[in-house]
Structures are given as structure tokens and as C-alpha cells.
């Protein structure tokens, strides 16, 4: 009897342990021989505090390659292939959004297929030139600013950027007429994505209300999302997440900082008149002038689309797998590389960029899984959206206030650092000089 009870206890213990582990099969290890790899790894918690972070550029690049996180050879090598190392932390996105794309798959063929389709889509979007994209962005932005000028619509600059970004993406990537898409629907999608993303990093993995908001919008637009491989979120998520936060912060730096240079706005206007790669890289007339590319690069440096990139690693000399993070944001702000003003927006630094800085600049990840939009499309699209929105928000007409509530009106100064996290509570509100400033003056004098 004692033997039977003991045996049952052992079986139950094995079941408990087995259920707490995820079995991940990857049939191509990535080595030259293509050897079969079968690895058992613990599903990591995506709470940021559980990951080991590294900001050294060389170590960050090795983490992105999925090889190691140390220069110490005694640590051994990662037993997991790069595909597995990247897919495991991203399973939270599968649970949260029901997607199956190149960022989440364990199948190398599926990843290659997704990458090929993404490149084809980018080629299609830009195939007719950038003027069409500029025209769409201008129409959407003009209509939105006209609306808020009449005292209607959401004046939260973050919401404005999200809505405009989504409308441009929906038209150019999903084939919708941007002007026929409702602001409320786009805001539901934006807020739903943000809440789901935050929930995916917690133990809940999903916010039911936010995912229902996204799904209801898609249902109204007759978009089917049930098949993980066909859901538009496979493309929408990476494109949208690459763009909107960088656009928001670049706008604030270029348009509303007291120290912002008028020349920056002039080169943005010139870029809208001739939206191509040559003009994107064209400098202004001054001796130490910058280009739209420099404005965007500096925004990507300070506010990278993905602040930290995760890999699950199981080093050959360590018993347990570990969640490792390449801290891109910290790497982009290292004073020993970027100077004493590394925490400040200073596009002129790109006039004297050196090899060390280029190595440390990785806003779109690094090889071999670098974002296909990194070479041209991503930076150009950010430049287009910043230029279009800036052209409609003249700093002589509009001012930016910040606070946790709409009633709080404080002016942005040069010393204030802009928060880049999703859970930042600060909101940025647009105030129209002639109509709004007087009503807010008494509060700002408190």
C-alpha cells in the first residue's frame, strides 16, 4: 500500500512538473547540417523584472543573433536555435492577439514565407512612389485638424498620431479608404492594441474588453480574424508598432520644444514637396544643417520602436533557460558612445557619427532577423507622417500642454524628458492659441 501511494505521488509530481513546462519542437536547428533539435524549455514570464538586461552594443548584437550574452567562453553556447529563442518570448502575442507570423512561428518555412510576403507588400506600397502615401496622410490629417479646430474630436496628440497612423496603414496595407474610416473605430483599435500588449506581459496574457474592441471594429469592416495565419494583425501590428510612438516623440521634439530649430520645419516642408529618398537625405542650407533622415534617426535613437528585444537562451553550461533582453533604449543612450548629451534630442550629432555609434544604433533590431522595413520604408514613413502632421500644426497657432488630466496645462521645456513606455500617464494636449490659451491661463498660474 505504501508503495502504491508513493508511486501515485511520484506520478502526480511528474504531471505537475510536465504541465509547467512547454514542449517546443524546432525541426531545423540552424546549423549547417540542419540537425533535428528537440528542446524542452520553460515558458518565460514577460514581466520586465524577470529578464536579464544588457546594453553593451556588442552583447546586444550577440543577443539578437541568439548566440550568447557574455564574452566569457566558459558560458558555452545557446542550445536553442535563433528561431526558437525569438519565438518563445513572443508566444505572449499569440495568446493576446491570435496571430501567427514571422515573429512568433517555430517553423523556418513559415518565417521565410512571412518575410517574403512582407517584402512584397512593402514593394507594392511604395511601388507607385511616395506621393500617394503623402496625399493620403495629408487628406486624413487636414480633416482631423479641421475637426479639432472647431472644438470637436480628441485633442490628445497621442490619440491624433495613433488615428492618423492607423488610417494610413489601413489604406496602404489593407486596401481601405482612409477618409471613410471613423476616428472612433481607429481609436478603439489603438487603445485595444495598447491594452492587450500591456496585458500580454502580465500573468493575465489578455484583456478581454480590449480584444473585443478590436474584433468589433474588424467585424464592422468585414475583416476576418479567426485564422491566425490570415488575420490582418499579422501585418498591422508590426507596421503600426514601428511607427506611431516614434512619430509622436519626433513631432514633439521638432515642433514643440523651445529649442527646436525653424530649419527643421523647413526641411520637412521641402520633403513633402519631393518625397523621395534623395530629398529625405538632403541637408538644409546651413553649415551644420541636418536632413529629415537625421531628424528621424535621432528620434529612433532616443525612442526606439522596441525598447527591449527578448531572447530565451539555454546556455550549455547552465541548467535552466533564461530570459535575456537586449536593452536597445539604454544602448542608444550610453554617454560613453553618444556623448554627455545622450539623453537629449540633438539631430546634429549625425553629422559626426562614427563607427562606434553606427554599431550601437539598432532601432530595428539586428542581423540576421533585422526588420525588412529598416533599410528605407520605416524611416521614410516616419518622416512622411512627421512632416505631414507638422505642416498642419503650426507652432504659432497650436501649443502643447502636458498633464495627467485635460485641465492641467503646463508648458514643455527643454529639460523635460519624454516618457517612452506604454504605461506612461502623461498626456499631451493641443491648445489653440486664440481660443484655448486664455481659458487655461488662470490654471497655469496656480
CA gap 37, 34 in Å, rounded: 9
Of 142, 146, 141, whose CA–CA distance to 163 is shortest? Answer: 141
Q: What is the DSSP letter of 156?
A: B
The per-residue pLDDT for 359 is 96
pLDDT at 425: 54
- Euclidean distance between CA atoms 444 and 446, whole angstroms: 5
CA-angle at 145, arms to 142 and 149, nearest 5°: 135
Strands 22-26 and 37-41: antiparallel
Confirm if 400 and 256 have CB atoms less than 8 A apart: yes
Torsional sign, CA 162, 168, 170, 173: negative
Q: Which residues of the chain have pLDDT under 50?
A: 2-5, 8, 10-42, 405-409, 437-446
Q: What's the CA gap between 143 and 40, in Å, rounded? A: 53
In this structure, the number of other CB atoms found within 10 A of the CB of residue 9 comes to 10
Position 121 scores a pLDDT of: 86
Residue-wise DSSP of 49-87: GGSEEE--HHHHHHHHHTS-S-S-GGG--BSS-HHHHHH
pLDDT of residue 17: 36
Number of H helices, E strands in the chain: 18, 8
- The reported pLDDT for the residue numbered 12 is 45
Contact 290, 351 (CB under 8 A): yes
SS3 labels along 254-303: HHHCCCCCHHHHHHHHHHHHCCCHHHHCCCCCCCCCCCHHHHHHHHHHHC
Instruction: Look at residue 31 in the predicted model and tell me its pLDDT.
Output: 38
DSSP 103-130: TT-S-HHHHHHHHHHHHHHHHHHHHT-S
Q: What is the pLDDT of residue 217?
A: 92
Look at residue 204 in the predicted model and tell me its pLDDT.
62
pLDDT for 3 equals 47
- Exposed/middle/buried for 380, CB within 10 Å: 0-12, 13-18, 19+? buried
E strands, 368-417, in order: 398-403, 410-411
Q: In b/e form, how buried is each residue of 138-151, taking b as 16+ CB within 10 angstroms?
A: bbbbebbbeebbee
Q: Which helix (H) or strand (E) holds 359?
A: helix 355-360
The model's pTM is: 0.85
Phi, psi of 270 (to 5 degrees): -65, -35
Q: Identify the CA nearest to 43 among candidates 92, 5, 79, 4.
A: 92
Amino acid at each position: 500500500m505504501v508503495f502504491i501511494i508513493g508511486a501515485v505521488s511520484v506520478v502526480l509530481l511528474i504531471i505537475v512538473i510536465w504541465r509547467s513546462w512547454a514542449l517546443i519542437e524546432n525541426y531545423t536547428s540552424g546549423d549547417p547540417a540542419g540537425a533535428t533539435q528537440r528542446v524542452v524549455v520553460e515558458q518565460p514570464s514577460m514581466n520586465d523584472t524577470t529578464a536579464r538586461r544588457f546594453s553593451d552594443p556588442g552583447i546586444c548584437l550577440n543577443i539578437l543573433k541568439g548566440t550568447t550574452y557574455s564574452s566569457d567562453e566558459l558560458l558555452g553556447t545557446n542550445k536553442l536555435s535563433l528561431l526558437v529563442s525569438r519565438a518563445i518570448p513572443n508566444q505572449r502575442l499569440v495568446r493576446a492577439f491570435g496571430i501567427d507570423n514571422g515573429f512568433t512561428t517555430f517553423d523556418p518555412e513559415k518565417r521565410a514565407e512571412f518575410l517574403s510576403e512582407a517584402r512584397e507588400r512593402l514593394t507594392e506600397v511604395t511601388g507607385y512612389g511616395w506621393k500617394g502615401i503623402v496625399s493620403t496622410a495629408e487628406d486624413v490629417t487636414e480633416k482631423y485638424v479641421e475637426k479639432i479646430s472647431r472644438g470637436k474630436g480628441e485633442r490628445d496628440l497621442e490619440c491624433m498620431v495613433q488615428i492618423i497612423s492607423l488610417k494610413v496603414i489601413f489604406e496602404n496595407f489593407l486596401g481601405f479608404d482612409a477618409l471613410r474610416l471613423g476616428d472612433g473605430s481607429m481609436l478603439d483599435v489603438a487603445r485595444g492594441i495598447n491594452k492587450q500588449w500591456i496585458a500580454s506581459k502580465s500573468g493575465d496574457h489578455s484583456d478581454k474588453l480590449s480584444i473585443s474592441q478590436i474584433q468589433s471594429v474588424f467585424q464592422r469592416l468585414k475583416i476576418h480574424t479567426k485564422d491566425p495565419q490570415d488575420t490582418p494583425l499579422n501585418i498591422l501590428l508590426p507596421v503600426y508598432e514601428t511607427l506611431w510612438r516614434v512619430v509622436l516623440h519626433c513631432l514633439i521634439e521638432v515642433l514643440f520644444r523651445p529649442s527646436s530649430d525653424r530649419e527643421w520645419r523647413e526641411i520637412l516642408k521641402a520633403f513633402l514637396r519631393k518625397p523621395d529618398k534623395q530629398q529625405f537625405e538632403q541637408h538644409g542650407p546651413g553649415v551644420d544643417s541636418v536632413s529629415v533622415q537625421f531628424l528621424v534617426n535621432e528620434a529612433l535613437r532616443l525612442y526606439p520602436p522596441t525598447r527591449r528585444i527578448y531572447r530565451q537562451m539555454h546556455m550549455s553550461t547552465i541548467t535552466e533557460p533564461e530570459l535575456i533582453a537586449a536593452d536597445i533604449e539604454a544602448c542608444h543612450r550610453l554617454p560613453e558612445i553618444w556623448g554627455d548629451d545622450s539623453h537629449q534630442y540633438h539631430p546634429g550629432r549625425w553629422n559626426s557619427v562614427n563607427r562606434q555609434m553606427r554599431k550601437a544604433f539598432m532601432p530595428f533590431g539586428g542581423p540576421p532577423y533585422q526588420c525588412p522595413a529598416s533599410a528605407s520604408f520605416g524611416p521614410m514613413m516616419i518622416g512622411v507622417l512627421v512632416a505631414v502632421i507638422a505642416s498642419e500644426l503650426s507652432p504659432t497657432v497650436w501649443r502643447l500642454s502636458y498633464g495627467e488630466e485635460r485641465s492641467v496645462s503646463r508648458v514643455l521645456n527643454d529639460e523635460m524628458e519624454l516618457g517612452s513606455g506604454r504605461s506612461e500617464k502623461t498626456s499631451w494636449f493641443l491648445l489653440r492659441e486664440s481660443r484655448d490659451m486664455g481659458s487655461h491661463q488662470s490654471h497655469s498660474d496656480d
